[in-house]
Amino acid sequence: MPGKYRRLRSKKSKLPMIIFGSGLIIFSLFMVFVFSNQPGKADSSSIQQQQSYVVPMPVAYPAPELTLENVNGRFESLEDYRGQVVLVNNWATWCPPCKAEMPTLVDFYNDHSGDGLDVIAIEAGEPKDYVLQFVEEFRLPFSVWLDPNSMALNAFNNPNLPSSYVIDRKGIIRYTWTGEINREMLEKYVTPLLSE
């Protein structure tokens, strides 16, 4: 009788461990399933693909009055560019999507500057020597302004980077977007403004 009682007690003491272990395995499998199917947990290539298809949003309001110093030490204002189609790009040297879209902006500018396109790249807060290093590394052919006090971010009422605005020849903002944009979107939305 004591031997039978000992065997029964031994089986009862293993039962909670078996239930706990099974529950842990089921919970782990559930968590793997949930996190592998979350849209926010996409791999870096799908994130880059999503970012490269940011579509500009059509708007219609006057460009803000904004004057800042460029990397050459001269002060420029948006008003100086009236009569041109201007793409204003707020960016920072430390911002990965800003770096990723910069070659696209350079190519787009090189292809359309003769059609009346200007690009103004406004760097958000980094010291001038950092910005000059970036300008040299990326061979930026357009005007680069320094914004140590976030005046541009405040003027456009958008603290996110990168953020861009397309101003038509009359000084009206026609498109805005936040995030990295690709060449296809620039050609589709910005190029038609050059012939207006």
What is residue 53's predicted lDDT score, i.e. its pLDDT?
62
Q: What is the pLDDT of residue 6?
A: 52
Task: Enumerate the H helices of the chain as residue ranges.
Answer: 2-36, 44-51, 96-112, 128-138, 151-155, 183-189
* Interval 118-152: pLDDT, tens: 999 999 999 999 999 999 999 999 999 999 999 99
Angle at which helix 44-51 crosses helix 96-112, to 10 degrees, equals 40
Ranges of residues in the chain with a pLDDT under 50 are 5, 8, 24, 27-52
- In the structure, how many helices (H) and strands (E) does the chain have? 6, 8
According to CATH, the topology of domain 55-195 is: Glutaredoxin (3.40.30)
Provide the pLDDT for residue 169.
97
Q: What is the per-residue pLDDT across 51-67, written as a single tens digit (0 to 9) for each?
A: 446 899 999 999 999 99
Which pLDDT value is given to residue 54? Answer: 85
Pair type for strands 117-123 and 57-62: unpaired
The candidate with the shortest Cα–Cα distance to 145, out of 118, 168, 185, 169, is: 118
